[in-house]
Chains A and B, each alone.
Chain A
C-alpha cells in the first residue's frame, strides 16, 4: 500500500522536474543577441498545401547566403521553420513556441488567411515584428495594431479588379466569368471581379466556385461554356488552374484566361501544356530570365537547396517576403531594437531590392507594395503586356 503511494509521488516529481527542464531561456531584446538575430515562420511543410512550404525553404536558402556574406552588422540570421500543415491550431501553437520558447525577433511570412487570422491577435499583442504574411489583406485595413506588421504582397482583391478592367477595356470582352476556389483567396478574387464589373456597368456572365478537394473541374468549365463567357478570371491552385485551362481549351469559342499572380509559376506551362498559351498573368517582381538580379537570386537559392528547382517560383516568393526585413535591419544599424527597426522600415521609400521594385513604407503606411504588371504566357515564356499598374494604398 505505502509503496504504491510512494511510487506515484516519485513519478509526479519526475514529471515536475521534466517540466522545469523545458523552461525557456531569456533574452534582452527578444531575438537579438550580440551574435545573432532569430527569425521564424510557421509554414505548411506537410499536408495538402505542402508545396507552399517552399516559400519558407527559399527564405532559409537565401539567409544561408546572407550569413556566408557576413550576416547583417556582424550578426548571423537564424531561421526556424515549424510545420503547421495549413491548420490554424497548429499555426497558433507554432507561433507561440517561436515567441515564447525560441524567442524570435520577427516572423517572416505565413500561408493561409485562416492561420493569419488565428495568430494575428497574439502576434500583435506581443509586438512581434511580422513580415508579409502571404494572405488576403482586408484584415489589416483599419486595424490599429499593425505597428510591427510590414507587407509586400499583392492584394488579391485589387488584382482581380485590374484583371477585370484590362479584360473589358483593353481586350473588349463583355461576358466576364470568374472561376474561383471556395476560400478567402478565391473569394477576394470573386469580389474584385464583381465590384469592378459593377463599376463598369456590367454583370458577370457566371461565378463558379470549386472546392480545394475537387478532383475534376470538367463540370465547372462546362457551366462557364454554357454561360458563353468570353473571358474567365481564374483564382486557383496550380493543379486546379491547369485542369481548368485544359477544359477551357475545349470550349468553342475559347475564352481568354486571366489568372491571379499565384499562377505565374512556370510549372503551369508544364501542367496545362498548350492550354496555358495566351493566359494573362500579373507579377509583382520581374520573371527569372528577364532580369539579372532575379536570376542571381534564383541561382543563389538553387545552389544551396537544389530540391527547390521544381518549386522555384514559390521559393523566390519567399525571398521576396524576407528582403525588406534585411533592408530594415541594415538601415537600423548595429544597435537594433524593434522600435529602431520599425523606424528604419519607415524610411524605405521607392526602394528596389533584388526581387522587389518600388517598395515604400512610412509612418502609418504598412502596405509596401501597390503595383503589379501584366504579361502573357506563350510556351512558358512571359511576354510583358503593360507597365506597372497601381492600386490604392489602404493601410
Chain B
C-alpha cells in the first residue's frame, strides 16, 4: 500500500511512515544484540565489515555521486590509519588525556582530517583530469603512499610494523571484540546518518549534477573546482576515519594491508552493491567483506569466487545489488495486479 505523499519533506525523507521507522529501530536493535549472539571471531569479522562499510560510503560520494574515479583509495585509508596510530602514541605521553577519556575520538578525527587533507591534494589535479587519466593519478597516489610507508620506518613502525594500544573510555579499555564492535558500528551509524543526509542536501545534489553533466552544472552555478575537491575530501575523510578504526580493530598496522588489491576491492564493493546509493554501498561492502573473511576452508579459491561474483553481478545487474533489490521491492508492491 503506497504512502500518500503530501509535503516536500515527506518526499525527501529517507524513512517514510511508521512501518519504516519500526524497521529502522528493529535493525538498530538487532545490530546491537549481534555481538552477544555470535562467537568472538565472527564479531571480529563484523568489525571489518563495519570498517569497509564506512570506506564504501565515502568512496560512493566520490565515485557514485560525483563521478570521479579513485583507484587509490587504500592510500587514504592508510593515511588515516597511520595518522591515528601516531596521534595515539603521541597522546600517550600526556597521562591526563589518557586518564580523562582516552584519545580515541580525537584519534578518529585526526585520522579523518589527515586523510581529508590528502584528499584535497589529490583533488587538485582531478579538476583538470577525467576518466582514465584520473584513474592513473589516483592509482599512482595509492601506490606512492604504500611505497613511502614501506620506506619510512619512522612512520610505518619499521621492521615489524606499528602496534597500537587499545582505545580507552576513562578507566575502561575497549579491548574485547564486543566493545570494538560498538565503537566501529556506532561510528558507522553516525557516518551513515551523515551520508544519507548529505546525499539529499544541496551538496549531494551538486555532486550528482557534476556527475551527470559538469558543464550544465557549472552553468547553473555549481563551482566545479570546489565540488570536486570537496568530494575528494569528504570521501577521504570517511576513508581516514575507517582507517583509524581499522588500526584499533587490528591493533597493528603494516603497509601491505593497503595496496592496489585493496583499492580494487573497495571499488568493487560500491559497484556491486549499487553505485550512487548509500544503501548500495552498505550492501556491497557487507557482502564482499563477508565473502573475503567468512568463507571457510575453501578460501584459496577466494580470488576466483570473488572475481566471478563481481563479473556476474556486473553482467546481470548493472545497477548493482541494491538496484536489483529496488526492482524486487517494486515488483512485490505491484503484485498481485
| Chain A interface residues (CB < 8 Å from chain B) | 1-2, 4-5, 8-9, 12, 15-16, 19-20, 22-24, 45-47, 53, 80-83, 85-90, 92-93, 96-97, 99-101, 113-114, 117-118, 121, 136, 138-139, 182-184, 187-188, 211
Further pairs besides A46-B303, A88-B257: 8, Cβ < 8 Å: A1-B19, A2-B19, A5-B22, A46-B299, A93-B48, A96-B44, A100-B41, A211-B150
Interface contact B302-A113, CB-CB below 8 Å: no
Determine which of A1, A97, A136 lies in contact with B1 in the assembled complex, contact meaning CB atoms within 8 Å: A1
Query: What are the residues of chain B within 8 A of A118 when measuring CB–CB?
Result: 161, 250, 252, 254
Query: What are the residues of chain A within 8 A of B1 when measuring CB–CB?
Result: 1
Determine which of A9, A96, A114 lies in contact with B26 in the assembled complex, contact meaning CB atoms within 8 Å: A9
Give Cα distance in the complex from A350 to B120, angstroms: 62
* Chain A residue, CB-CB nearest to B251: A121
Which residues in window 9-48 of B have CB below 8 A to A? Answer: 17-20, 22-23, 26-27, 30, 33-34, 37-42, 44-45, 48
Nearest CB in chain B: distance from A167 CB, A: 24
Chain B interface size band reads: 35 or more
Query: What are the residues of chain A within 8 A of B334 when measuring CB–CB?
Result: none
Interface string of B134-155 (1 = CB under 8 A from A): 0000000000000100110000
Interface contact A83-B302, CB-CB below 8 Å: yes
Query: What are the residues of chain B within 8 A of A99 when measuring CB–CB?
Result: 41
Nearest CB in chain A: distance from B237 CB, A: 22
* Chain B residue, CB-CB nearest to A83: B299
Nearest CB in chain A: distance from B263 CB, A: 14
* Chain B residue, CB-CB nearest to A97: B41
Q: List 23 A-B contacts (CB under 8 A).
A: A1-B18, A1-B19, A5-B26, A20-B37, A22-B42, A45-B299, A46-B301, A46-B302, A47-B303, A53-B300, A81-B297, A82-B297, A82-B299, A87-B256, A89-B293, A90-B292, A90-B293, A90-B299, A93-B44, A117-B252, A117-B254, A139-B160, A211-B147
| Chain B interface residues (CB < 8 Å from chain A) | 1, 17-20, 22-23, 26-27, 30, 33-34, 37-42, 44-45, 48, 147, 150-151, 159-161, 163, 250-252, 254, 256-257, 292-293, 296-297, 299-303
Query: What are the residues of chain B within 8 A of A188 when measuring CB–CB?
Result: 159
Interface centre among B19, B37, B41, B161 (most CB of A within 10 A): B41
Nearest CB in chain A: distance from B114 CB, A: 21
Nearest CB in chain A: distance from B175 CB, A: 10
Interface contact A1-B17, CB-CB below 8 Å: yes
Q: A88-B250, A96-B41 are in contact. Are A46 and B300 (CB under 8 A)?
A: yes
Give Cα distance in the complex from A99 to B300, angstroms: 20
Interface contact A22-B38, CB-CB below 8 Å: yes
Q: A96-B40, A100-B39, A121-B251 are in contact. Are A114 and B160 (CB under 8 A)?
A: yes
Q: Which 9 A-B pairs have the closest CB atoms?
A: A45-B300, A96-B41, A83-B299, A114-B254, A4-B19, A19-B37, A117-B160, A83-B300, A118-B252
Interface contact A93-B161, CB-CB below 8 Å: no
Nearest CB in chain B: distance from A107 CB, A: 14
Interface contact B23-A5, CB-CB below 8 Å: yes
Determine which of A16, A96, A97, A138 lies in contact with B37 in the assembled complex, contact meaning CB atoms within 8 Å: A16
* Chain B residue, CB-CB nearest to A84: B299
Q: A1-B17, A46-B303 are in contact. Are A113 and B160 (CB under 8 A)?
A: yes
* Chain A residue, CB-CB nearest to B147: A211
